[in-house]
Amino acid sequence: MAQGFSLKDQLFNADKVAYLAGLFESASTRFERDRFEASVMARLPELELKERIDWIADCLSEAVPGDLKSVAPVILKALPEPLDPTLSDDDFGDFIFAPLGEWVVKVGADDPDLALDVIEELTQRFSMEWAIRPFLNADPDHVLTRMERWCAHDSYHVRRLVSEGTRPRLPWGQSIPLELSDPLPLLDRLHTDPTRYVTRSVANHLNDIAKKDADLVLGRVSDWRASGQQGAEELRWMTGQALRGLVKQGHPGAMKELGYDPDAELSAVLHVPDKAHIGESLAFTVDLTAPRPTPVLVDYIIHFQRPGGKVSPKVHKLKQTRIETGGLSLPKTHKLKGNATTFKLVPGSHLIEVQVNGRTRASATFELMQET
């Protein structure tokens, strides 16, 4: 039987370790390449992805012992050329350099200025948002001051680190002691960035904040729109990304910011079959009418049955469009995957709702049946 795809094995494997070892062998005559590779591979297969990063960092610190002042020149000499500066998006870098950031964290606590210098170089090969956070915890004012300079850095990877490294809810990242508003002056500068890689991070950062303080985010995007410093199309995209969590909640302020009136006069009719089978699809249609042309943002919510009688609502996008004279019909086919590993479907009566501009406008039920 064929094995499933393994991200950890794609990102961290014998070939990647050999590549890293070759870089350090070229940087230091004292680096014992064979010993390093053997040490890493002795445990690598048994470890999960994040554990592999930490383990390679441990092996590096053993292969090149010393404090940051002594190992920083070796690290910097081992680095390949920075990522292509002519690109502007989707250039995250090579995961094999992530352990170098953890290595700097392990040995750089007593020399934060040098640590930040090295991180500035490392993030131009692989994003260092995880590595920067321990230093933010130790001395947030010091790091934020450095980040003010990084906002004008020539490399968009360094500029992105300012936003990504200070996100309140960074996946896999340490929590940090910043108030939600502390990084906003930095985001004020970064929201005008010409690269989507940076503005996506800014939007994701705001989406994190919105989970705790919607008004803070709504006020900021309104201020940015009023300032006119970012192109209208890019700012419109950023705003949609920043408010996507609030949109799922049907937040009226987010709807208005995006140009959709929650109180618009309109009607919706939902056509749903009586039953559907796990492993097949639910085909339904939403008919919308309004007395005048009306912009609409249409979502649908399926309230899935869970084991034990609980219900789990899931919001899905349907359409951002405009009701013209005569109305419109929106067909949709929702796949009911029976083999998903993250969310198992449970037979039973299910509620589906149509949310238009943040308000529930129609609902119906269908019976979800076992696979045929």
CATH number at residue 355: 2.60.40.10
The verdict on 318 and 227 lying in the same domain is no
Q: How many CA atoms lie within 13 A of 77 on its CB side?
A: 13
**pLDDT tens digits along 109-167:** 999 999 999 999 999 999 999 999 999 999 999 999 999 999 999 999 999 999 999 99
In this structure, is residue 27 part of a structural domain? no
Split into its structural domains, the chain has a count of 2
Average pLDDT over residues 191-204: 97
The verdict on 119 and 139 lying in the same domain is yes
Q: Mark which of 205, 226, 257 sits at the end of a domain.
A: 257
In this structure, is residue 311 part of a structural domain? yes
Question: What pLDDT, on the 0 to 100 scale, is given for residue 2?
Answer: 40
Which single residue is written with the structure tokens 């020149």? 73
Question: What pLDDT, on the 0 to 100 scale, is given for residue 309?
Answer: 82
The answer, yes or no, to whether residue 303 has pLDDT greater than 50, is yes
Average pLDDT across the chain, whole number:
95
Average pLDDT over residues 239-258: 96
The verdict on 279 and 337 lying in the same domain is yes
In this structure, is residue 29 part of a structural domain? no
Average pLDDT over residues 349-372: 96
In this structure, is residue 6 part of a structural domain? no
Q: Beta partners for 365? A: 351
Fill in the DSSP letter of residue 73: H
Question: What pLDDT, on the 0 to 100 scale, is given for residue 285?
Answer: 98
In this structure, is residue 51 part of a structural domain? no
In this structure, is residue 25 part of a structural domain? no
3-state SS string over 197-224? HHHHHHHHHHHHHHCCCHHHHHHHHHHH
Question: What pLDDT, on the 0 to 100 scale, is given for residue 301?
Answer: 97
Contact by Cβ (8 Å): 137, 177: yes
The verdict on 167 and 273 lying in the same domain is no
Taking the C-alpha atoms of residue 97 and residue 116, their distance in angstroms, rounded to an integer, is 16
- pLDDT confidence tier of residue 4, bands split at 50, 70 and 90: low
Taking the C-alpha atoms of residue 334 and residue 215, their distance in angstroms, rounded to an integer, is 33
Taking the C-alpha atoms of residue 357 and residue 288, their distance in angstroms, rounded to an integer, is 12
Structure-block tokens of residue 336? 């009911």
Domain that holds residue 167: 66-257
Give CA angle at 203 (342, 318), nearest 5°.
Answer: 55
The answer to whether the pTM exceeds 0.75 is yes
**pLDDT tens digits along 37-51:** 999 999 999 999 999
Average pLDDT over residues 341-370: 94
Taking the C-alpha atoms of residue 50 and residue 63, their distance in angstroms, rounded to an integer, is 20
How are strands ordered across the β-sheet holding 311-323? 275-277, 359-369, 348-356, 294-305, 311-323
Q: In angstroms, how far is the first alpha carbon of the chain from the final one?
A: 25
Considering Cα of 178, then 181, then 185, then 188, what sign does the dihedral take?
A: positive
Taking the C-alpha atoms of residue 72 and residue 344, their distance in angstroms, rounded to an integer, is 49
The verdict on 145 and 290 lying in the same domain is no
